[in-house]
């Protein structure tokens, strides 16, 4: 580890920050079957990148704003004549397309599109780290604060109403948390792979968890393992860092699924 | 004592279809009130309005101040990706002590289930756990929406006996929706016959002999079968036949 240069330490810290926030949120994404919702929000953020660069505001702010706009648009349009997956497909891919076109209009600014599509974790600076950890802390705080209400609303909206919880408000909390995670993760894994950081650790944690809390904690641990291990893999094999992190997460998922199957068979 | 909850001219619409119109009723402490009615008659909508999940288009819902409601939903699908023990489920949304949880489980006849996963329970066990959860808040009003759906006849009979026992122990009022007329007639203090509006209400014997009820459900033991034939011979058809077909999807 002594050989780790400063930029690698920053990269590892960035990856850990994103994994910490993404994994517990990812559990809700899995439980509520919002996988495509996460994908759509992430894809929309490339439009945010283009807008941020053309209006000369921070990429974080631009991405946060478009991700939020996207997520609220989807929530508002849901149940008005189109099936959710159709709606998400239309919005996700059209906003990605509009984003890519908008980026091509940007003159004078040469931006590396690949860095936003696949992430550029090795270029994370101190300021980026502050944004990532600040955003992650905010997401974790939100989830911590609303945890019981979120879980109740996830189980059943009517059960939530009967307990005095408004499930629409909880949906909004998740939407905001999702936008935050997308905004902080774009630098680390890029828009195309953000959904992977949400879903894969949560899915890998499922066979080992008996309660929702344990699933969230195990998911966070697996996510951090994937982030740090993936970075080392990328360093050793000279592969792109973001995709390497996701590959390791996928390997963890495969191992966990197999173990889960074996455990199940042994039990009976 | 004044009523726990009262509805005054409640009208509810789903996307332009009026599901309930001008429903007025009130529930006194400790009484068991059952709502019966054909599919699409707005029974579930009525209960959802009472718990606050459905905004009325017109009319008012008045709850006694600080009213504690225990709600047992019609069905609860728990996604298999969500790990949840019975014990953890009972602490949602408010944490309860182990002793309190154990007592509620015992009361609901689910005493030995605390450590089990929710997704691994049978239909009857699941309903008893839902009942236990509803009892945790020491409810003044217990609301059950077709709680015995999917249970066989002995199972549902046992469940309703348990409800009566709970009512005796806790002194709570019970508002429930049921398809099982024979059970309802035995277990309720008051029956409300609903079909978009209140057709008739009163003591079970009174309701059973009311012409409106007979028009909906037929007479005697054939009642349950008549549920599915009501639309063609229902005497209120002039009032609410319009849009019936659409209401069916909307209200359930």
The answer to whether B88 faces chain A, any CB pair under 8 Å, is yes
Residue A72 maps to a domain: yes
Q: How far apart are CA A65 and CA A95, in angstroms?
A: 13
Residues 6+ apart with CB under 8 A from B14: B45, B247, B250, B251
Mean pLDDT computed over A209-222: 95
For chain A, the C-alpha Rg in angstroms (whole number) is 19
Question: Given CB atoms, is B92 within the 8 Å cutoff of chain A?
Answer: yes
Nearest CA-CA distance, residue B69 and chain A, Å = 7
Q: Does A89 touch chain B (CB under 8 A)?
A: no
Report whether B175 contacts B6 (CB < 8 A).
no
Residues 6+ apart with CB under 8 A from B233: B215
Task: Provide mean pLDDT across the span A191-204.
Answer: 92
Please name each of the domains of chain B with its CATH number.
1-70+175-242 (3.40.50.300)
| Any A CB within 8 A of B117 CB | yes
Q: Does B52 touch chain A (CB under 8 A)?
A: yes
pLDDT at A83: 79
**3-state DSSP call for residue B60?**
strand
Q: What is the pLDDT of residues A224-238, one digit of tens each?
A: 999 999 999 998 999
Band (pLDDT 50/70/90 cuts) for residue A212 is very high
Read off the pLDDT of each residue in A73-82 and give the average, rounded to a whole number.
76
- CA of B15: which chain A residue's CA is closest? A80
Axis crossing angle, helix B244-251 with helix B43-51, rounded to the nearest 10 = 50
CATH number for the domain spanning A82: value is 1.10.3470.10
Contact A209/B at CB under 8 A: yes
Find out whether A138 and A179 touch, Cβ atoms under 8 Å: no
**What average pLDDT score do residues B54-79 get?**
87
| CB nearest to A159's CB, from B71, B84, B117 | B71
Sorting pLDDT into bands at 50, 70 and 90, what band is B232? very low
Asked if pLDDT for residue A1 goes beyond 70, the answer is no
Range of the domain at A38: 6-192
pLDDT of B149 reads: 77
CA distance A128 to A49: 15
Q: What pLDDT score was predicted for residue B240?
A: 37
Give the closest of B53, B84, B95 to A211, CB-based. Answer: B84
Q: Do A215 and B83 touch (CB under 8 A)?
A: yes
The answer to whether residue A35 neighbours chain B at the CB level (below 8 Å) is: no
* Residues of chain A numbered 136-195 and touching chain B (CB < 8 Å): 148-149, 151-152, 154-165
- A121 in a domain, yes or no? yes
A216 in a structural domain: no
If 0-12 CB within 10 Å is exposed, 13-18 middle and 19+ buried, where does residue A130 land? Answer: exposed
Q: Which residues of A fall within a CB distance of 8 Å from B143?
A: 162
pTM for the predicted model, two decimal places: 0.83
B62 in helix, strand or coil?
strand
List all residues 6 or more positions away from B234 whose beta carbon is below 8 Å from its beta carbon: B195, B215, B216, B241
In this complex, is the C-beta atom of A30 within 8 Å of any C-beta atom belonging to chain B? yes
Distance of CA A50 to the CA centre of its chain: 20
At residue B92, the pLDDT reads: 86
Is the Cβ–Cβ distance between A62 and A49 less than 8 Å? yes
A216 pLDDT more than 90? yes
| Segment among B39-43, B100-104, B114-118, B224-228 with least mean pLDDT | B224-228
- Name the band, by pLDDT with cuts 50, 70 and 90, for residue B244: very low
**Per the structure block, which two tokens stand in for B122?**
């049978």
In chain A, the number of structural domains is 1
In whole numbers, what is the pLDDT of chain B averaged over residues?
Answer: 80
**A182 in any annotated domain:** yes
**A111 pLDDT more than 90:** no
Domain-located, residue A267: no
> What is the average per-residue pLDDT within B77-99?
90
Residue A119 in any domain: the answer is: yes
With contact defined as beta carbons under 8 Å apart, do B35 and B244 qualify?
Answer: no
The span from the CA of A35 to the CA of A43, in Å, is: 13
Average model confidence (pLDDT) across chain A: 88
Supply B113's token pair: 């289930």
Adjacent-strand bridge partners of B18: B13
Instruction: Look at residue A238 and tell me if it is in a domain.
Output: no
Asked if the model's pLDDT at residue B209 lies above 80, the reply is: no
Look at residue B116 and give its three-state secondary structure: coil
Q: What mean pLDDT is predicted for residues B149-165?
A: 81
Tell me the pLDDT tens digit for each residue of A130-159: 999 999 999 999 999 999 999 999 998 888
C-beta pairs of B129-133 under 8 Å, 24+ apart in sequence: B129/B86, B129/B89, B129/B90, B129/B105, B130/B72, B130/B73, B130/B76, B131/B72, B131/B159, B131/B162, B131/B163, B131/B166, B132/B90, B132/B101, B132/B104, B132/B105, B132/B107, B132/B108, B133/B70, B133/B89, B133/B90, B133/B92, B133/B104
Residues 6+ apart with CB under 8 A from B36: B43, B177, B178, B179, B181, B184, B191, B192, B193, B194, B217
Identify whether A211 is part of a domain.
Answer: no
Task: Point out the least confidently predicted range of A33-37, B2-6, B94-98, B223-227.
Answer: B223-227
**B-chain residue closest to A210, CA distance:** B83
pLDDT at A120: 87
């Amino acid at each position: 580890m002594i050989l780790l240069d400063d930029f690698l330490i920053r990269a590892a810290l960035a990856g850990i920050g994103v994994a910490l926030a993404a994994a517990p949120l990812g559990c809700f994404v899995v439980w509520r079957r919002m996988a495509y919702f996460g994908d759509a929000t992430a894809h929309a953020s490339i439009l945010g990148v283009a807008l941020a660069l053309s209006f000369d505001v921070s990429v974080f702010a631009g991405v946060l704003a478009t991700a939020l706009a996207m997520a609220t648009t989807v929530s508002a349009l849901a149940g008005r004549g189109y099936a959710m997956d159709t709606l998400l497909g239309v919005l996700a891919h059209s906003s990605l397309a509009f984003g890519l076109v908008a980026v091509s209009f940007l003159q004078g600014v040469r931006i590396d599109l690949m860095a936003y599509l696949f992430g550029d974790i090795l270029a994370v600076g101190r300021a980026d780290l502050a944004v990532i950890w600040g955003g992650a802390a905010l997401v974790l705080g939100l989830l911590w604060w609303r945890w019981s209400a979120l879980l109740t609303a996830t189980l059943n909206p009517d059960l939530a109403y009967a307990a005095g919880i408004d499930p629409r408000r909880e949906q909004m909390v998740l939407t905001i948390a999702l936008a935050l995670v997308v905004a902080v993760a774009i630098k680390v894994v890029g828009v195309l792979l953000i959904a992977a950081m949400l879903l894969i650790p949560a899915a890998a944690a499922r066979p080992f968890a008996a309660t929702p809390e344990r699933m969230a904690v195990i998911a966070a641990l697996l996510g951090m393992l994937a982030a740090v291990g993936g970075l080392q893999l990328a360093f050793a094999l000279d592969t792109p860092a973001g995709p390497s992190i996701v590959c390791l997460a996928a390997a963890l998922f495969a191992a966990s699924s197999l173990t889960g199957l074996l455990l199940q068979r042994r039990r009976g | 004592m004044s009523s726990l909850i009262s509805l005054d001219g409640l009208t509810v619409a789903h996307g332009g279809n009026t599901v309930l119109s001008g429903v007025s009723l009130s529930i006194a402490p400790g009484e068991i009130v059952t709502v019966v009615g054909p599919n699409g008659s707005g029974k579930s909508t009525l209960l959802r309005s009472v718990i606050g999940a459905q905004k009325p288009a017109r009319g008012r819902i008045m709850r006694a101040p600080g009213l504690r409601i225990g709600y047992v939903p019609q069905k609860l699908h728990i996604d298999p990706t969500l790990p949840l023990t019975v014990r953890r489920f009972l602490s949602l949304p408010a944490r309860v002590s182990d002793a309190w949880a154990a007592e509620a489980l015992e009361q609901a006849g689910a005493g030995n289930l605390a450590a089990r996963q929710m997704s691994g329970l049978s239909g009857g066990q699941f309903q008893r756990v839902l009942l236990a959860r509803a009892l945790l808040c020491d409810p003044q009003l217990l609301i059950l929406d077709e709680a015995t759906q999917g249970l066989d006849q002995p199972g549902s009979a046992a469940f309703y006996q348990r409800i009566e026992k709970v009512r005796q122990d806790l002194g709570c009022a019970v508002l429930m929706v049921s398809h099982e007329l024979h059970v309802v007639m035995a277990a309720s203090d008051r029956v409300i016959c609903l079909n978009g509006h209140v057709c008739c209400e009163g003591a079970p014997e009174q309701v059973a002999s009311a012409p409106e009820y007979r028009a909906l459900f037929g007479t005697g033991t054939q009642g349950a079968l008549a549920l599915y034939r009501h639309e063609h011979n229902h005497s209120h058809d002039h009032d609410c036949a319009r849009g019936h077909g659409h209401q069916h999807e909307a209200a359930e």
